[in-house]
Structure 1
Amino acid sequence: MCGALLSSPGSVVLGALNGLFVAGLAHFAIGGTAFAIIMIAEAILLAIRLVSLKRVKSIHEAGGVPAIDTPITLSIIWCSLQGALFFFAIRTGSTPLMVLAAAHCMGLVGPLCARNYAAPRLALLLVGLCVAPFVIGAASTGEPLMLALVFLLPGFLLGALQILAQYRSAMLAALGAELINAQRARHDPLTGLLNRHGLEGVMKDLSRNQVFSLVCFDLDGFKPINDRFGHAAGDRLLCEVGERMRNALEEGQVLARIGGDEFLALLPGQGAEATNARIEAVIAAVSDTPYTVDGKALVQIGVTAGFACYPDDATGIAELHVLADRALYAAKKAGKGFGTRYQPSLAA
């Protein structure tokens, strides 16, 4: 997050142009070497920062995570340079230059807080590097009224902290809500398993050269139990069945509920033989031990499975699902309670 916030070319260029503008006006109006040095340093630093940002962008595009040390260091140097500009501008005694310096200084506070809210101590340091030299320069002019800025500085910094806290709170709330929505979009609200959309996302991340099996599970005898004991009891039963099925899978194997009493399992790296063994383990986990319903009644649930293998049976995810579903239908038609692989003879 810090790397992304410190990588805004637009704000870097605009900030540098404003600094160059103020330093340039001061140099042509007042003269001296201080503003000329600041102008040269501003131009060199801008070039270095743009090169750094280009490198950050290339790392992002390559899927990497850029280091933030260089952007942070360059930001600290730039804010120190702005502080020097404000110090010398305020000491000129020129009212127009003092107003320009004050406007530029105050204009930096909001963007610095907004861009660096994820690192509040860094943001406060950057603000301080800009504001403190301005206040020190004003106090050293000998103008009594300028001393009031010294007493205003603590309140000013507290105000910056308040801005940071508000930015941070609002953005973290937005990120949290986005994460929750993404979680809900990918997971079944009843069992907590992945839903169809979530499973498809996992499957798309698999390598095209990777072997895997897709298994369709359908519960046997669930509907009569659901009708007899009610939907609330049926929901609790589905949750327990889902937990047993998930525990029967190995690490790296993924289970999803796609609706009603239908489940899908993704078994990466599994061929037909290994998939048959895993299906037997799932069927045993679901069927061997009765379930307690309403605290007293014992009921039995069975499960039937059909599966297809990638890339032997299909070369696309959608097609693989269709073939596994056909195998499931054939198994249920043949007697239920077991798993079978798709065969070309099952084609519709």
Structure 2
Amino acid sequence: MNGALLSSPVAVIMGALNGLFVACLAHFTVGGAAFAIIILAETILLCARLASLRRVKATRAGGEIPYIDLPVTLSLLWCGLQGLLFFFAMRTGNTAIMVITAAHCMGLVGPLCARNYAAPRLAMLLVGLSVCPFLIGAATTGDPVMLALLALLPGFLLGALQLLANYRSAMLSALSAEMINADRARHDPLTGLLNRHGLEGVMKSLSRDDVFSLVCFDLDGFKPINDRFGHAAGDGLLCEVASRMQAALDEGQILARIGGDEFLALLPSQGAEKTEATIEAVLANVSSAPYPVDGTSLVQIGVTAGFACYPEDATDITELHVRADRALYAAKKAGKGFGTRYVPSLAA
């Protein structure tokens, strides 16, 4: 809704210029104080709306969600002003002015529906503020034929509603597909855990003042089981292991699968001592009981871990991952089945 309402400065400017054109044409052709007042009000509103959009842009640039109260209020005022313009222009009796006014009025409906599809009731209110005075002005010109416009009103409103529904349906479908694709890009399709890309996104969102640990896990004995029982059994085993690992973590701690039988855990606000305790809990959960495969056989799986702490061991996320991985490699080389922290002697 914010994006649709507030991100169209070109539409704001063009709508205002069209309104000023019609008002100026009527003023210089027919005259009257009404059009002079409308021209002045149109100019003031345009300046206010552009200033509002600049503030919105600055708020977005700061990473915040802008308030829409003022832009919506200004949109309501502008559409009401257009309604007054249409009313007085239709009552001039000047054929050229009336035709141009009708063209401007009808030209507003599409953009109003397109920009405000996320708020259908607001869109219909904006359309009504613009169109209803036009119809009243036309119907009170004294020309009986103009009364026919009132008969067209129900069909016109239904058409606007259909236009809104079509815009809304199309945009919601596009947004839904975009959200699904974004979610798939961040998650492992097998286990449902975050993947490497998703975990990196979480780590990049952390403050440089935060303290956290990054743990690399690698399963022990998985490949022979995968080769013996097949990939389907291996996939089921990975899902069960992931479930046990996740169960050992506290709320707010994030587990990700980065490929094969490799997992990463992000432990926010946790130093070395607490991380070692968490690793022990994960190792115990993973190896606590055998895993059923192919319906009859039971297999045992172990896990080895290596970790590094931010900012003690590295002040760069990429380097932190590298050092946690080196600690994992050292643990596997030393005998597997336990966790160890990175130390400077492991540097390449």
Q: Shared topology, TM-score over 0.5?
A: yes
1:33-72 equivalence runs, <5 A? 33-72=33-72
1:102-113 equivalence runs, <5 A? 102-113=102-113
Q: Corresponding residue for 1:263? A: 263
Secondary structure of the equivalent of 2:113?
Answer: helix
Q: CA deviation at 1:328?
A: 0.8
Q: Corresponding residue for 1:217? A: 217
CA RMSD of aligned residues (A): 1.2
1:96-135 equivalence runs, <5 A? 96-135=96-135
Q: Corresponding residue for 1:175? A: 175
TM score, norm. by length of structure 2:
0.97
Q: 1:209-254 deviations in whole A, cap 9, x for unaligned?
A: 2121111100011112112221111111111111111111111111
1:126-145 equivalence runs, <5 A? 126-145=126-145
CA–CA distance in structure 2, aligned partners of residues 206 and 140 of structure 1: 65
Q: 1:29-53 deviations in whole A, cap 9, x for unaligned?
A: 1111111111111112112222222
Q: CA deviation at 1:4?
A: 4.9
Contact 1:38 1:81 in 2 (8 A): yes
CA–CA distance in structure 2, aligned partners of residues 137 and 56 of structure 1: 36
1:168-317 equivalence runs, <5 A? 168-317=168-317
CA–CA distance in structure 1, aligned partners of residues 295 and 207 of structure 2: 46
Identity of aligned residues (%): 78
CA–CA distance in structure 2, aligned partners of residues 134 and 248 of structure 1: 68
CA–CA distance in structure 2, aligned partners of residues 4 and 64 of structure 1: 16
CA–CA distance in structure 1, aligned partners of residues 6 and 316 of structure 2: 41
Mean CA deviation greater in 7-16 or 123-132 = 7-16
Q: 1:228-287 deviations in whole A, cap 9, x for unaligned?
A: 221111111111111111111111111110100000111111111111100000001101
CA–CA distance in structure 1, aligned partners of residues 204 and 80 of structure 2: 48
CA–CA distance in structure 2, aligned partners of residues 308 and 274 of structure 1: 12
CA–CA distance in structure 2, aligned partners of residues 291 and 2 of structure 1: 50
Aligned length: 348
Mean CA deviation greater in 269-278 or 137-146 = 137-146
Q: CA deviation at 1:3?
A: 5.9
Q: CA deviation at 1:142?
A: 2.2
Q: What is the identity, as a one-letter code, of the residue corresponding to 1:46?
A: L
Contact 1:2 1:116 in 2 (8 A): no
Contact 2:38 2:81 in 1 (8 A): yes
Mean CA deviation greater in 331-340 or 47-56 = 47-56
Q: CA deviation at 1:169?
A: 0.7
Contact 2:2 2:66 in 1 (8 A): no
Q: 1:87-126 deviations in whole A, cap 9, x for unaligned?
A: 1111111110011101110111111011100001100111
Q: What is the identity, as a one-letter code, of the residue corresponding to 2:328?
A: L
The answer as to 2:76 corresponding to 1:76 is yes
CA–CA distance in structure 2, aligned partners of residues 119 and 227 of structure 1: 56
Q: CA deviation at 1:132?
A: 1.0
Q: CA deviation at 1:294?
A: 2.5
CA–CA distance in structure 2, aligned partners of residues 92 and 259 of structure 1: 74
Contact 1:3 1:66 in 2 (8 A): no
Q: 1:185-220 deviations in whole A, cap 9, x for unaligned?
A: 111111111111111111111111212111110001
Secondary structure of the equivalent of 2:161?
Answer: helix
CA–CA distance in structure 1, aligned partners of residues 78 and 6 of structure 2: 13
Q: CA deviation at 1:7?
A: 4.3
Q: 1:114 to 1:340 in 2, by over 3 A?
A: same
Contact 1:186 1:195 in 2 (8 A): yes
The answer as to 2:340 corresponding to 1:340 is yes
Q: What is the identity, as a one-letter code, of the residue corresponding to 1:94?
A: N
Secondary structure of the equivalent of 1:214?
Answer: strand
Secondary structure of the equivalent of 2:314?
Answer: coil
Contact 1:118 1:168 in 2 (8 A): yes
Q: 1:72 to 1:3 in 2, by over 3 A?
A: farther
Q: What is the identity, as a one-letter code, of the residue corresponding to 1:68?
A: I
Q: What is the identity, as a one-letter code, of the residue corresponding to 1:69?
A: D
Secondary structure of the equivalent of 2:208?
Answer: coil
Secondary structure of the equivalent of 2:124?
Answer: helix
Q: 1:172-195 deviations in whole A, cap 9, x for unaligned?
A: 111111111111111111111111
Q: CA deviation at 1:25?
A: 0.7
